[in-house]
Amino acid sequence: MTADDNIAIRARGLTKVFGNLRAVDDVDLTVEHRQVYGFLGPNGSGKSTSIRMLCGLLTPTSGEIEVLGLRIPDEAETLRQRIGYMTQQFSLFTDLTVRENLEFLAAVQNLSRRRTAERVDELLEEYHFTGRADQLAGTMSGGQRQRLALAGSVIHNPELLFLDEPTSAVDPESRRDFWEKLFELADAGTTILVSSHYMDEAERCHRLAILDKGRLVADGSPAELTGALEHRTLEVSAARPRSAKKVIVGVEGVLSAAQIGNSLRVLCTDTEGCAGRVEAALAAASVDAKVAQTPPNLEDVFVAVTNRQDTEQDREAS
């Protein structure tokens, strides 16, 4: 692989095998500079394993990785000086204060004493810890500790930030504030790769990859991915949604039907005649319902691409 001025991460054929488990399976990935790039997938889909390989913390079984122009894992030590890494578990010292945690991380990154003082003061203000500098980290709320962990991961102004499910243990308001900080970092020039299993977070990304059972099953902007399902999603309003669902799941061309409140969200395998077949089946079953087209969302994308992989694997097994 050759370096590209606009590419922060490039992986080709990325694979990791643990015994009989193929945790990551032949993944190709390209992340441009200044992007917020999302990894979307359920637990066990290969997100964390992929991130650890891209960071140089885990050696791939096969494949090629280039991050910030460096070949990984050969140049992993050099890379670590240029990246930040934050996991879903709070990884700072609970018995140290906010300031002491930041000072410790500055020392780990070999910042000078003068630069440490300047940078810690900057982060205390930027991350709203001015009045909490002497508070023990262990006494703070989940959202506050999350902000502190993010502040610590950027103490050395990394060019690239890896975030592994960083918002899994905080409330929605804290998650929203956290994402505002991510976009501020991206606007300032930091490339961010963040894994999540929250659909609303995936929609915020400039671009995202969907992983399932170790495979990359979709890659694109949220608009590109949802646009590929145009006219394949229906909303069915019914007085008896459970009865309607029993009918709909048996209709030819219906991939899934999920109840959302008093209505059903239906995903079809194609755009031709699905709505008509659903209406006809409901009428034949004497279920009063209204069928209408509805715009696709990322949850529809996820269902479509993971179902496709299951079908392909079933075909390979046979």
Q: What is the pLDDT of residues 202-229, one digit of tens each?
A: 999 999 999 999 999 999 999 999 999 9
pLDDT in tens, 163-201: 998 887 678 888 888 899 999 999 999 999 999 888 888
CA distance 261 to 114: 57
Q: Which residue has the higher pLDDT, 25 or 41?
A: 25
Residue 232 gets which letter from DSSP?
-
Residue 125 gets which letter from DSSP?
H
Mean pLDDT of the chain: 92
CA-CA-CA-CA torsion sign (169, 108, 123, 5): negative
Q: What is the pLDDT of residue 209?
A: 95
Q: What is the pLDDT of residue 214?
A: 95
Judge whether 24 and 15 are in contact, CB under 8 Å: yes
Judge whether 299 and 218 are in contact, CB under 8 Å: no
Q: What is the pLDDT of residue 21?
A: 95
CA distance 123 to 128: 8
CA distance 287 to 301: 28
pLDDT over 90 for what percent of the chain? 81
Please tell me whether residue 239 adopts helix, strand or coil conformation. coil
Report, as an integer, the average pLDDT of 68-94. Answer: 91
CA distance 127 to 145: 11
- Domain segments of the chain: what residues? 7-219, 231-295
Q: What is the pLDDT of residue 175?
A: 86
Q: What is the pLDDT of residue 314?
A: 44
CA distance 176 to 128: 15
Q: What is the pLDDT of residue 316?
A: 46
- Measured CA to CA in angstroms, residue 104 lies from 30, 92, 94, 117, 204 at distances of 33, 10, 13, 11, 32
- Measured CA to CA in angstroms, residue 107 lies from 54, 111, 153, 249 at distances of 24, 6, 13, 59
CA dihedral 39, 41, 45, 48 (to 10 degrees): 40
The CATH class of 231-295 is alpha beta
> Residue 155 CB: number of other CB atoms within 10 A?
24
Give me the half-sphere count of Cα atoms (radius 13 Å) on the Cβ side of residue 119. Answer: 24
Please tell me whether residue 96 adopts helix, strand or coil conformation. coil
**Helix pair 142-153, 172-187: axis angle to 10 deg:** 20
Helix/strand/coil (H, E, C) string of 256-293?
Answer: EEEEECCEEEEEECCCCCHHHHHHHHHHHCCCCEEEEE
CA distance 277 to 292: 12
User: Which of 265, 214, 57, 81 lies closest to 158, judged by CA?
Assistant: 81
CA distance 29 to 285: 47
Task: Please calculate the CA angle 210-214-220 and round it to the nearest 5 degrees.
Answer: 20
CA distance 34 to 28: 19
Q: What is the pLDDT of residue 108?
A: 93
User: Which of 6, 65, 66, 3 lies closest to 35, judged by CA?
Assistant: 6
Report, as an integer, the average pLDDT of 271-286. Answer: 94
CATH of domain 7-219: 3.40.50.300
Q: What is the pLDDT of residue 161?
A: 97
